[in-house]
Structure 1
Amino acid sequence: MKKIKYYILGALASMAALSSCDADFTKINKNPDTVYEVDPEVFLYQIENVMCNAGETWADSYACRLRWMQYCAGIWGYSTTNFTECAGFSGSLYSNYVNAGKYARHIPYYVKTNMPEQEAAYSDLTEVARILLITKGIQASDVYGSLVYTDGWGTRNGNVEILEPTFQTQEELLTTWNQELKEAANKLATSSNQVTFKNYDLAYSGDMSKWVKAANAVRMRIALRLLKQKPAEAKAIAQEVLSSGNIFSSIDDSFILYFDNYWTTQGDWHSVIDMDRASAAFMAYLLKYNDPRKRLFFQINNLTPENVAAFNAKETTTPAQVIPTHLGRWTGGSVSYDKWATDSCRTSRYLDDIDMRPMNRPQTRLWKGAQDNGSAGGWIPLVTYADFCFMASEFTLEGVANSKTAQQWYEEGVKASLRQWSKIADYCKINDYEAVTESEIEAFLKQDGIAWNSAMAKEQIYCQTWVEHFKNNSESWAMYKRTNYPSTTSTLVTWEPINVYGELQQVPRRKKFTMPADGSANYANQVKRLEDMQKESNFGRLDSEFGRIWWDKE
């Protein structure tokens, strides 16, 4: 196919800075700046490449959500005063949403303008791009509430009239996104004579039947977010999806983007071990239930009896450095800042060149395949089969009839999670990889607390969802806001109270906001956006990260 010259125009239509510490959203729809020659399929890779990047991973996952959700305890990166106010939180996320949109919206316009005779043949590419954009939009809206969507990216889709786009409320966004995903699934299921983009499709290598399933899986995401505000509508969406016949049925259907090794060196230049180690709460769960995912999530520490004895023999004059002999090969540290000084699990120690810190290091190659001289690629989980099963199980408990019971969905989800993580760990070539066996899976499912118990079924679903989302922790954060699980009083997973200088900390629920400066770009629409969100009874103060977005209903 011939390559056509085009101009990459400015980004999304006007979304000025939402607070003084936000990314710069003011340069919009203006100033063509770069010239490229590409095929339309290249735009898809650009979208996939901004579904998550180093800035978002560092500021949102490593510094915030891994700690907020108590998967990990921080060892470096931010002071004790900003556990809830992480520097840079969500700035890259918003930018990635903006960038995904400018490419997704440009595809149909680019094709129509430059190759109109092939417009119908690029329908699949347009719909796949839409699914990715909506998936990213859900993440952005979880933090920011109202967004520009329908009116956005005007110069990217030929609509140069709208340079001051309106914001849509979260309720409007979820309704629009659900309808567009439904339409996308229908179009993908019935299209013909399409241009292939197999080599640019990092999720399904051009298998449109799986993209149909992915669209329906993302609809289930939307349904869960509607469950408190609009329960009847949420259940109707879940019913439609589960009855469609086009749903995930194995881990091979999981909506995951797989990147090569080049991406892991360029797209995620930090690794999780720069900032985090296993938390006491997460490790306590993994040990209590002998969860096989323990060795997939974390690397065994170096506290062999021989190493501990050798280290302690050298440290007889410094009692504070001596390693307690009760600490084993698997241990987590306190997330609470006020315990750091007295937590022996956290202390950094070395026996010659052997790292003797008790807290287990995350399996670094799960986050960055090139870490530790690795040769594997990167991956971005969006909706896994296990995740879908747990959503289906919860909706079945809510009365949504389908072909499986809630117990069957739950048990299938647990099995799928262990199988998926084993497959991913192999793909990432983690250190000391050992595949999860079917006998381990069966033994795991038979334990009290893991085996289905109707008296605590929802907690079991939430617990396994939390574990499944170790890397996709934007979703565990969303679940926490929706269900208040886990907590310091939950049983299967029990969080520790987090104190900073004696003050009990809360988990943030959204971004802080400030009113835009008078005269800033798109000023009137920005003000209206914030004023409309403030009408919600639980929104709280603009400058409070503990206020609630629309779907986060008490």
Structure 2
Amino acid sequence: MKIYYKKVLLCLAVSCAMVVSCDDQDYIDANKDPDILNEIPPENQFLNATIGIHGQDFEAYYDFYRRIMPWMQYVTPLTGNPESFTLGFGNFSNRYGRLYNGIGNVLTDLEMLVKNLPEEEQPKYAQMLHISHILKAYYAFYVSDIYGSIAYTEAFQARYGGTMFPTYDNQQALFAKLDAEVEASINGLKETPSIQQISLGSYDQYYGGDPAAWIKAANALRLKMAMRILKRDETTAKAIVQEVLNDAGNLMESNDDGWVLVASSGITSGGNFNPDGLRASKPLVDFMLDYNDPRIDAFFAPNSYSQANINLLIAAGQLEAGTTETVRYVGSFTSPDDAADEDIQDQYYSTRSLNGQTFDTLSLIQRRLFQPAFNTGTGLNYLPVISYPEFCFMRAELAARNITSEDAEEFYNKGVTASIEWYNEVAIGAALTNYTPLTGSQITDYLAQPGIAFDSDIAVEQIACQAFLHYFRQPAEGWASWKRTGFPSTTSVLALTDMKTNGVSLPIPRRAPLSIPSEGIPNYENIKAAYDDMAKDSGFGQGPTDAFGRVWWDVE
């Protein structure tokens, strides 16, 4: 990862949680006055969009910590998952509002600022525009990924003479449009400029304005979008995959190429970024312990029962003499029925206290992995968009599915290796507590174990499970990967729990719930038309509010 970071002042707008409110707020209020932008340098808007993507503390708190991570069994709350935890969607999701009030509109402003420059100056910004188009396409994809149809082609133009009531692009058409835009940007960045370019420089905190790095990132984005549509439009997906993988010299080759924001602790210092109170999950802890996964202390914190603390409790008569330290990584039960069981409560969820100190059996997550500023920490943030390990896992899966002729085992091993190395770099850079850096042959030993060593008979399962582990720092992508592949499952090599309430298996949400539009609100006809169009798909569910339905790409 190339490191370009500086301290920035975060001015975060309140995101809209639902589609209808965003139509009303974002198209009418945020996009109607072009005069406010007259003196802003174009590159400043790129930095603002970056902050808009990664500075969303409501998304961290509500979408990741309270929704997606428990759904995916990455974590639980302190006392385990409550009975109906997959049925609550309060303040979910925050990404939609940011597209129209902080990212898409801001990157459109960048483009319009360039167009308003003297004609002879505009060619100097060609590369900047291509890079901004890549970032804008990524975020539109990220939003549509869980919403389906969104306003895009006619959006962001209200204050430039366009409509304040845009039509919606359905997901199939949108993904095709986004791929074409990213491909055009790649081709544009490959061209030798006829005039000296004005670089984004430090305003680009991903790659410092480096066109070659952005070409690699854009190719990774094209591959990711192609894999989303693989079940829906295999022919188109295969064509995109081949185009990308044939672009020799312009593909990610190491963690240095990863599309990752590395920033100072301040960008996630807000209170809602605080991940305190999240337990390590039993499925992940058990798997990582069983296979001696080197990432375990980057993901999770040891419990309170060090030998020193055990000795204090023995002296106080709270533990028997001779008690010794055992495994200090213990996960929380993810099924509400298990967490409510009295014997499990007594054994795992009860605590001891001594002299004001609480001794807890269960592990917490590594809090500084998500908020380096936690408890006065000063480490760096590592905020991935598309990392090199993810790129390897995509190539491995495509090969395992016989979509490409590449070596699935090679890219599986590269992905696992790069993931372990990436978390080692992150753990050190974020100054995690209780972390032991990689040594010796840990990666080689890990990959040699049955169950981890590549097995062509279960290749897709293994690849998907390792990708899922890697997405621990990127849980929204873990959710998407689970929907796309069906792994991990209750029977996969990384086995999740069948989460039950009163003996009944809980359904897991698959998309963002959409609010019902009221007649008379701005853009009602276009919203309703988009909903009606999505409802034609049998997988859409029982209606707009049904989070257990599916968007277009998410098919069985």
TM-score computed with the length of structure 2 as normaliser: 0.89
Is 1:172–2:173 an aligned residue pair?
yes
What is residue 459 of structure 1 aligned with on the other side?
461
Q: Could you tell me whether the CA contact under 8 Å between 1:16 and 1:26 is conserved in 2?
A: no
Q: Could you tell me whether the CA contact under 8 Å between 2:419 and 2:470 is conserved in 1?
A: yes
What is residue 40 of structure 1 aligned with on the other side?
42
For residue 433 of structure 1, report the CA deviation from its aligned partner.
Answer: 3.2
Q: Could you tell me whether the CA contact under 8 Å between 2:305 and 2:325 is conserved in 1?
A: no
Is 1:113–2:112 an aligned residue pair?
no
Which of 409, 414, 418 is the equivalent residue of 1:416? 418
What is residue 128 of structure 1 aligned with on the other side?
131
Change (3 A) 1:312 1:212: same
**Partner letter of residue 432 of structure 1?**
N
Q: Could you tell me whether the CA contact under 8 Å between 1:263 and 1:377 is conserved in 2?
A: no
Q: Could you tell me whether the CA contact under 8 Å between 2:81 and 2:334 is conserved in 1?
A: no
Q: Which range moves more in the overlay, 52-61 or 348-357?
A: 348-357
Is 1:425–2:427 an aligned residue pair?
yes
Change (3 A) 1:380 1:501: same
**Partner letter of residue 265 of structure 1?**
S
**Partner letter of residue 255 of structure 1?**
W
**Partner letter of residue 189 of structure 1?**
K
CA–CA separation in structure 1 for the residues paired with 2:484 and 2:546:
18
Which of 30, 49, 63 is the equivalent residue of 2:66? 63
Q: Could you tell me whether the CA contact under 8 Å between 1:396 and 1:405 is conserved in 2?
A: yes
Q: Secondary structure at the match of 2:454?
A: coil
**Partner letter of residue 478 of structure 2?**
S
For residue 390 of structure 1, report the CA deviation from its aligned partner.
Answer: 0.6
Change (3 A) 1:17 1:290: closer
Q: Could you tell me whether the CA contact under 8 Å between 1:84 and 1:505 is conserved in 2?
A: no
CA–CA separation in structure 2 for the residues paired with 1:381 and 1:302:
31
Q: Could you tell me whether the CA contact under 8 Å between 1:17 and 1:25 is conserved in 2?
A: no
Is 1:258–2:259 an aligned residue pair?
no
What is residue 53 of structure 2 aligned with on the other side?
51
CA–CA separation in structure 1 for the residues paired with 2:325 and 2:485:
36
Change (3 A) 1:520 1:312: farther
Q: Which range moves more in the overlay, 500-509 or 436-445?
A: 500-509
What CA RMSD, in Å, does the superposition of the two structures yield over aligned residues?
Answer: 2.7
CA–CA separation in structure 1 for the residues paired with 2:305 and 2:259:
38
**Partner letter of residue 222 of structure 1?**
M
CA–CA separation in structure 2 for the residues paired with 1:399 and 1:81:
40
Change (3 A) 1:495 1:115: same
For residue 326 of structure 1, report the CA deviation from its aligned partner.
Answer: 9.0
Q: Could you tell me whether the CA contact under 8 Å between 1:302 and 1:354 is conserved in 2?
A: no
Q: Could you tell me whether the CA contact under 8 Å between 1:122 and 1:195 is conserved in 2?
A: yes
What is residue 532 of structure 2 aligned with on the other side?
531
Which of 365, 377, 380 is the equivalent residue of 1:377? 380
Q: Could you tell me whether the CA contact under 8 Å between 2:389 and 2:414 is conserved in 1?
A: yes
Q: Which range moves more in the overlay, 382-391 or 31-40?
A: 31-40
Q: Could you tell me whether the CA contact under 8 Å between 1:63 and 1:86 is conserved in 2?
A: no
Change (3 A) 1:185 1:301: same
Q: Could you tell me whether the CA contact under 8 Å between 1:63 and 1:78 is conserved in 2?
A: no
Change (3 A) 1:146 1:77: farther
CA–CA separation in structure 1 for the residues paired with 2:440 and 2:251:
24
What is residue 4 of structure 1 aligned with on the other side?
none
| Pairing of 1:437-516 with structure 2 (within 5 A) | 437=439, 439-490=441-492, 492-516=493-517
CA–CA separation in structure 1 for the residues paired with 2:38 and 2:426:
35
Is 1:292–2:291 an aligned residue pair?
no
What is residue 302 of structure 1 aligned with on the other side?
304
Q: Secondary structure at the match of 2:413?
A: helix
- 1:354-398 CA distance string (max 9 Å, x none): 442222222211111111211123231111111000101111123
Change (3 A) 1:294 1:523: same
CA–CA separation in structure 2 for the residues paired with 1:226 and 1:126:
27
**Partner letter of residue 500 of structure 1?**
T
Q: Could you tell me whether the CA contact under 8 Å between 2:38 and 2:113 is conserved in 1?
A: no
CA–CA separation in structure 1 for the residues paired with 2:50 and 2:363:
31
What is residue 161 of structure 1 aligned with on the other side?
162
**Partner letter of residue 253 of structure 1?**
D
| Pairing of 1:215-254 with structure 2 (within 5 A) | 215-245=218-248, 246-254=250-258
| Pairing of 1:319-338 with structure 2 (within 5 A) | 328-338=327-337
**Partner letter of residue 226 of structure 2?**
A
Change (3 A) 1:38 1:472: same
Q: Could you tell me whether the CA contact under 8 Å between 1:256 and 1:381 is conserved in 2?
A: yes
Q: Secondary structure at the match of 1:256?
A: strand
Q: Could you tell me whether the CA contact under 8 Å between 1:204 and 1:211 is conserved in 2?
A: yes
For residue 432 of structure 1, report the CA deviation from its aligned partner.
Answer: 3.0
- 1:182-207 CA distance string (max 9 Å, x none): 11111112142210111111111222
CA–CA separation in structure 2 for the residues paired with 1:61 and 1:471:
10
| Pairing of 1:376-415 with structure 2 (within 5 A) | 376-401=379-404, 404-415=406-417
Change (3 A) 1:200 1:16: closer
Q: Secondary structure at the match of 1:550?
A: coil
Change (3 A) 1:104 1:214: same
- 1:104-134 CA distance string (max 9 Å, x none): 1111111111343321111222222221222
Q: Could you tell me whether the CA contact under 8 Å between 1:538 and 1:548 is conserved in 2?
A: yes
What is residue 278 of structure 2 aligned with on the other side?
276
Q: Could you tell me whether the CA contact under 8 Å between 2:24 and 2:522 is conserved in 1?
A: no
Q: Secondary structure at the match of 1:369?
A: coil
What is residue 188 of structure 1 aligned with on the other side?
189
Aligned residue-pair number = 531
Change (3 A) 1:22 1:129: same
What is residue 6 of structure 2 aligned with on the other side?
none
CA–CA separation in structure 1 for the residues paired with 2:533 and 2:17:
17
**Partner letter of residue 151 of structure 1?**
E
CA–CA separation in structure 1 for the residues paired with 2:304 and 2:237:
49
CA–CA separation in structure 2 for the residues paired with 1:252 and 1:114:
35
State the identity as a percent.
31
Q: Which range moves more in the overlay, 306-315 or 517-526?
A: 306-315
- 1:17-61 CA distance string (max 9 Å, x none): 536899955644335796784321110111111113101011111
TM-score computed with the length of structure 1 as normaliser: 0.89
For residue 84 of structure 1, report the CA deviation from its aligned partner.
Answer: 3.1
Q: Could you tell me whether the CA contact under 8 Å between 1:256 and 1:383 is conserved in 2?
A: yes
CA–CA separation in structure 2 for the residues paired with 1:328 and 1:438:
22
CA–CA separation in structure 2 for the residues paired with 1:304 and 1:448:
31
Q: Could you tell me whether the CA contact under 8 Å between 1:11 and 1:27 is conserved in 2?
A: no
**Partner letter of residue 172 of structure 2?**
E
- 1:341-366 CA distance string (max 9 Å, x none): 43332334433344422222222111
Change (3 A) 1:269 1:539: closer
Q: Secondary structure at the match of 1:380?
A: strand
For residue 304 of structure 1, report the CA deviation from its aligned partner.
Answer: 2.2
Q: Which range moves more in the overlay, 237-246 or 333-342?
A: 333-342
Change (3 A) 1:81 1:32: farther
What is residue 85 of structure 1 aligned with on the other side?
88
**Partner letter of residue 397 of structure 2?**
E
Unmatched tracts of structure 1, length 5 or more: 1-9
Q: Secondary structure at the match of 1:350?
A: strand
Q: Could you tell me whether the CA contact under 8 Å between 2:534 and 2:540 is conserved in 1?
A: yes
Unmatched tracts of structure 2, length 5 or more: 1-12
Q: Secondary structure at the match of 2:262?
A: strand
- 1:130-159 CA distance string (max 9 Å, x none): 212222222211221101111110035x3x
Q: Could you tell me whether the CA contact under 8 Å between 1:488 and 1:497 is conserved in 2?
A: yes
CA–CA separation in structure 2 for the residues paired with 1:270 and 1:226:
32
**Partner letter of residue 337 of structure 1?**
P
What is residue 4 of structure 2 aligned with on the other side?
none
Change (3 A) 1:23 1:251: farther
Change (3 A) 1:455 1:537: same
